Structure 1
Amino acid sequence: MTWIGWRWLKFVALAIFASGLWSSACAQDRGARLTAAQWTTTAGLVLSWIAGYALMKASGRGFEPWVLQAMGASLVASTGALLAASRPRPALGAGLAAAGFCAATFVMVSRGALALGWALGLSAALGALASLAASRLPDADTNIDTDLDLGARHLRWFTWVARFEGASLLLMVGVSMPLRMLASIALDGGQGWIGWVHGILVLIYLQALVAVATAQRWGLGRTSLAFVASLLPGGTFVFERRVLARTRAGQG
């Protein structure tokens, strides 16, 4: 894909990300809020980071401080979306999502030219306004009446994220690295794409893990086991088969 193509993908991804953030707080149905927070927001975030990585490679740039700051701010925004969708009243999560999105936008547009303190201050002010506006929204119509239903939705999302993360780790460790070391064959052309995508999925996995552990009231042992599983090739698949299957059976 050309530089212009990646740039357009970046814009589209940011639009998807923004729409997910908006819907996670403003959709009338709480189930729709969760769908927006889990799937729409995550899709926009992943596509944005993939396009950003391609643009960074094309321009010969590295991971400059403003890049890492924008990534961190966008993670804060997506976490806010999950918080807004998981609670009956979305004010706190909406404020966090708005602040994170604004901070990421300020940093990306200025590329570090705008002082970080100013970016954070402006973002915090806009986030507070968003939180105030969200507090005045009418309560969402809900088809999620119990904590059990909320936990089940987070569990399904976590399961799919775990599968993608586990598959990417197997591809990287079981295929890409052996081919590179033994046959000098780089599946991603030596650009680090496989490692980058896996890194993105690890971050999404950790975010989903916190969400499901909170909603399902997992203890430290099960949560730690899920974390360790993400570090081992095939670990998330074993965790799903041995642990998540019992969790789903208990909800049936």
Structure 2
Amino acid sequence: MDDFPDFLEQDDLTLRLPTDADLPEIARQLSDQRTARWLATVAHPVDPEQARALLIHGQHPGEAFRLIERENRVVGALCLGASLWYWLDPDHWRQGIMHRALTLAICTRFARPAPPLIATCHEDNDASRALLARLGFAPYPVGRRMFFQGTQTAEPCRDYLLAPEQWHLLHPPEIAAGPALLRPARQTDAAALVHMLPGTGAGPWPAAEALPAFIETHRYRGRPEGLLVIVDNNRRSIGMALESHGRTALLFLSAEDETRHRTRIEASLATQWPAPI
């Protein structure tokens, strides 16, 4: 991914580009059989030059290879590209680090329209399978065999898919606008949104019977496109915002709601929801 940030930070966790100085540590971690066992392309043991080849692959267009640091110590790595793959130093297992790192990376990737992510997991790697499920990945119905360099055999694996729509359903972004907030619209919002429509359809808004299809067509898949619901501090749906083709259209349940919230919502969309560069 050419537009993936070189550096991401959240609390004590950092994702960053690797350097030559990291090669010995990468080789050490990948030479641990507990890690190498689950990585199909990793032979055993790994030397710094083999680690360098891995870094070169991560620099290819469409690939985003980042080291995972915790408290200034490299604890693993991840790569988002044609497929998702990752590893974590066994000394740091069972601390939720990889879940946090992948959540940060995937949230960044899907902040703008992007294709689904595919991860391939060994059928015996229970920890990784559970991690992918917690993140929202869905398993393919049929497994396949994949050649592993470490064992020189084809071993049972399964592909897992995560679409941006599924990610945003599980992790909906929110925009604060004073006492109101905006979030992506869902089909369950149709019963409330239908009361805001101008009747036979006007401007960008649909007729009532076309609302479910309208919600699906404008389902949020990453900035800057999508249909957002405006909710007040009583959790009442009071309006909607349509971001489409660089334009914003607002519709409110009542004139009172529009008078109270429009200015703040326009300002919040302009400052918190700019189109990604």
* TM-score range normalised by the length of the shorter chain: under 0.3
Larger radius of gyration: 2
Structure having the higher strand fraction is 2
TM-score, normalised on structure 1?
0.26
Structure having the higher helix fraction is 1
